[in-house]
């Protein structure tokens, strides 16, 4: 690798020419990159860099300090960095030691890669002379992480350390964002050198692909072809994915939908790209999407996929997905085009710029889709989300509906993984992009609590709520103490159904109620007493329906970290549900959501509005 000039920065850094250790260079590059928080756990192999952080903060003003948050585990640190990144679009940073510190970070790195989240993980490594000898706390980080990250560096030349760290940030946030891992031997951190203040590593192949994407414009003939497809359509639908959030393209998506009056369905990761209270929003599609969103997918004759990848939780039976539709696909990653579903129109481009160009190119386009919008509105009314409103037991949907009335869609919500995750996606409103933070592709239990910490650090004035389940929160339970250690005002709402609810649901439906490994009723933990021992001043449990609203109001108003446990119906299922091997036409809606007849109410593919 050669060194390139960094043309994005001033030609002369004020510290250029200053002698520094490698560790000091790492910290200075972090500061130059605008890093204001690091999440990490120390250890011998990374100690020089931790010492450099201390000395950096000691020599700078409070406003210039890089805040250091020490979690309970390295996995927690990685998810905190992810929550920081997901809620802001900036690169999150995790700093861990060698061996188990690095291997404990594999899951958050893979989670970020699967959901295209930009973080930089800096790992300490044993000294260069000891690499490959099974030295104390040595792990083959490059080998392990290469399959999980967007890119991995092992720094063996101290003269390239500064440029490597700077390049890692460029790779993490450019193109399709993702995690970058830097493995830095301890002696490289200690090595003395001269700080350059600029310079990037040359990665020719990546640079060429990135330049092609950055140059990409939607050609006039492609614009015309797109609007010919839209003009031929009577029932268009936008299918927005996480790429819209990752590309900061929510304003363009909303403007596009409003300009052409096209309804929008989103993936789990795309929630928030469209204001879910908008008349054009059909909320989430897919396995646990709203019935009306899935029915609209069945009915549409033109599907515009934006920053989405037709994953298995959405497309299900691929041949039956959007069966009457011609498909257009806009995405920053060429590998996603045609990977799952053959499309009629495609453009590889930054989605923000691509949408803006289509919007500009369609200035003269006019077509009235009002009959389709009337049909979609009827679907939303007739097949609305619903649940058992007569039960004496607390229903999770009721809890979240009440929370929605209180927050009015203006909170940042993180979740663990399971039933509570799907209920939160269904019953909470999200008026802003990057306000719903969850583990999508990896589905990592334990994600919600540390992600909420990262999001709160990044957004100190916002209300941040972790909606969690009793199974999921146990995975990173130690981070509850992190909240009180640093007085981070995250609100933790625990929906406790004494079990792994989503797995139990599958066991109910497909395994004749054999609850192998999922029953938590024998567990002894008293969550309220446990969080009180961690220093929570607000810690309550609710088991009576009549007490839920008041408890939620007190909980959200409390100025510091707060914990509210709500005991919910253990036998409740998440509906709708598109089961394994099923298409949308086989969607299970349960007792309380109205299905449509197999042969009635559906739009005929040959019908003309």
Hey, which residues are catalytic here? 74, 136-137, 186, 502
8 Å CB contact between 588 and 290: no
Say how far apart CA 527 and CA 532 lie, in whole Å.
Answer: 9
What does the block give as tokens for 370?
A: 């009002």
| Cβ contacts of 247 within 8 Å, gap of 6 or more | 307, 332, 350, 351, 352
Give the CA distances from residue 516 to residues 42, 223, 445, 470, 503, in Å, rounded to whole numbers and listed in that order: 38, 54, 18, 17, 9
Alpha helices (runs of H) in 412-500, residue ranges in sequence order? 419-427, 448-458, 470-473, 479-485
Alpha helices (runs of H) in 512-566, residue ranges in sequence order? 527-533, 548-557
Reference 449, options 421, 483, 426, 423; nearest CA is: 483
Say how far apart CA 418 and CA 500 lie, in whole Å.
Answer: 7
Say how far apart CA 454 and CA 464 lie, in whole Å.
Answer: 10
Say how far apart CA 124 and CA 104 lie, in whole Å.
Answer: 13
Query: Mutual orientation of helices 22-32 and 47-58 as an angle, nearest 10°?
Result: 60
Say how far apart CA 96 and CA 310 lie, in whole Å.
Answer: 35
Burial 128-145 (b: 16+ CB within 10 A, else e): beebeeeeebbbebbebb
Judging by beta carbons within 10 Å of its beta carbon (0-12, 13-18, 19+), is residue 590 exposed, middle or buried?
middle
The DSSP H or E segment spanning 237 is strand 236-240
């Amino acid at each position: 690798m050669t060194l390139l000039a960094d043309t994005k920065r001033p030609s002369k850094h004020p510290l250029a020419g200053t002698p520094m250790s490698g560790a000091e260079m790492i910290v200075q590059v972090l500061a130059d990159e605008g890093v204001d928080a690091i999440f990490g756990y120390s250890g011998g192999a990374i100690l020089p860099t931790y010492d450099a952080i201390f000395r950096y903060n000691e020599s700078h003003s409070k406003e210039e300090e890089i805040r250091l948050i020490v979690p309970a585990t390295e996995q927690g640190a990685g998810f905190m960095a992810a929550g920081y990144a997901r809620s802001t679009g900036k690169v999150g940073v995790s700093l861990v030691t060698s061996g188990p510190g690095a291997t404990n970070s594999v899951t958050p790195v893979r989670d970020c890669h699967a959901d295209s989240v930009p973080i930089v993980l800096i790992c300490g490594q044993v000294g260069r002379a000891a690499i490959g000898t099974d030295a104390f706390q040595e792990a083959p980080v490059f080998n392990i992480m290469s399959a999980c990250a967007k890119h991995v560096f092992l720094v063996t030349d101290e003269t390239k350390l500064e440029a490597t760290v700077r390049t890692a940030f460029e790779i993490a946030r450019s193109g399709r964002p993702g995690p970058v891992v830097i493995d830095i031997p301890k002696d490289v951190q200690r090595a003395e050198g001269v700080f350059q203040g600029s310079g990037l590593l040359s990665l020719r192949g990546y640079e060429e692909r990135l330049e092609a994407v950055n140059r990409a414009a939607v050609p006039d003939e492609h614009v015309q072809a797109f609007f010919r497809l839209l003009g031929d359509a009577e029932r268009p639908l936008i299918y927005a994915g996480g790429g819209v959030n990752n590309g900061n393209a929510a304003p363009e998506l909303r403007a596009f939908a409003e300009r052409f009056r096209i309804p929008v369905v989103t993936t789990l990761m795309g929630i928030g790209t469209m204001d879910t209270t908008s008349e054009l929003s059909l909320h989430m599609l897919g396995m646990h999407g709203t019935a009306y969103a899935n029915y609209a997918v069945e009915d549409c004759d033109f599907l515009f996929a934006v920053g989405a990848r037709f994953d298995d939780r959405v497309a299900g039976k691929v041949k039956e997905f959007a069966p009457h539709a011609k498909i257009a696909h806009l995405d920053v990653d060429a590998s996603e085009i045609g990977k799952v579903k053959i499309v009629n129109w495609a453009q590889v481009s930054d989605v923000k710029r691509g949408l803006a160009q289509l919007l500009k190119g369609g200035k003269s386009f006019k077509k009235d889709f009002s009959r389709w919008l009337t049909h979609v509105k009827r679907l939303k009314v007739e097949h609305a989300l619903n649940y058992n409103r007569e039960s004496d037991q607390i229903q999770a949907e009721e809890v979240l509906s009440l929370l929605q009335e209180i927050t009015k869609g203006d909170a940042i919500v993180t979740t663990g993984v399971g039933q509570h995750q799907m209920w939160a996606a269904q019953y909470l409103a999200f008026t802003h992009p990057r306000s719903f933070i969850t583990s999508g592709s990896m589905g990592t239990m334990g994600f919600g609590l540390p992600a909420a910490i990262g999001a709160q650090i990044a957004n100190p004035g916002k209300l941040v709520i972790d909606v969690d389940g009793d199974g999921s929160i146990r995975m990173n339970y130690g981070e509850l103490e992190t909240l009180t250690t640093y007085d981070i005002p995250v609100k933790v709402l625990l929906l406790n159904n004494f079990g792994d609810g989503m797995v139990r649901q599958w066991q109910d439906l497909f395994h004749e109620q054999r609850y192998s490994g999922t029953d938590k009723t024998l567990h002894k933990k008293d969550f309220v007493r446990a969080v009180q021992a961690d220093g929570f001043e607000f810690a309550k449990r609710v088991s009576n329906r009549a007490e839920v609203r008041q408890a939620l109001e007190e909980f959200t108003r409390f100025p510091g970290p707060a914990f509210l446990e709500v005991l919910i119906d253990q036998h409740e299922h998440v509906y709708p549900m598109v089961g394994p091997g099923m298409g949308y036409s086989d969607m299970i809606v349960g007792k309380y959501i109205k299905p449509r007849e197999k042969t009635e109410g559906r739009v005929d593919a040959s019908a003309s509005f």
